[in-house]
Amino acid sequence: MSEEELARFFDEERVLTCATIGPNGRPHLMPLWYVRDGLTLLAWTYGASQKVKNLERDGRATVQIEAGRDRYGELRGAMLECDVAVERDPERIVAEGLRLMQRYAGEDASPEGRERVAKQAKKRVVLRFTPTRIVSWDHRKLGGAY
């Protein structure tokens, strides 16, 4: 996929799967909601979560976003090898929480919504997934020749 196609795909899909390396050396896979900043993806999660502990030990992750699970000819997706920054700035955490609320709940930043996000943000961090390598696929482009 081109960068434009990837950006559109990231906007259409809603869940990424994040793979970090757990303390036992095995992959640790978790789903996350995200927002996009160019081809960089941002998510928020509990600061005490295993994935954050893993990223503090090794700031690399691989994320995957996929679609078209019902038919082989419809499969498409992207795998991003990323350097991940764990952001702890309270204002940044609230700002990204509000973006997530808008994207997933369709709620504007009402005073009540801001309050809910600010309350949750105290226990959260922002994960900034900056791709160092992207592999994508779109079987719809194959025209049935696979």
Q: Give the pLDDT confidence of 94-124 residue by residue, as tens digits.
A: 999 999 998 998 867 678 878 888 999 999 9
Residue 71's pLDDT band (cuts 50, 70, 90): confident
> Which pLDDT score, from 0 to 100, does residue 109 have?
66
**Mean pLDDT confidence for 28-45:** 97
pLDDT at 82 over 90: yes
> Which pLDDT score, from 0 to 100, does residue 94 have?
94
> Which pLDDT score, from 0 to 100, does residue 106 have?
81
pTM: 0.92
Q: What is the CATH number of domain 3-88+124-142?
A: 2.30.110.10
> Which pLDDT score, from 0 to 100, does residue 58 have?
97
> Which pLDDT score, from 0 to 100, does residue 115 have?
86
> Which pLDDT score, from 0 to 100, does residue 11 have?
96
> Which pLDDT score, from 0 to 100, does residue 146 have?
65
**Mean pLDDT confidence for 128-132:** 98
- 33 with 14: CB under 8 angstroms? yes
d(CA 51, CA 125): 11
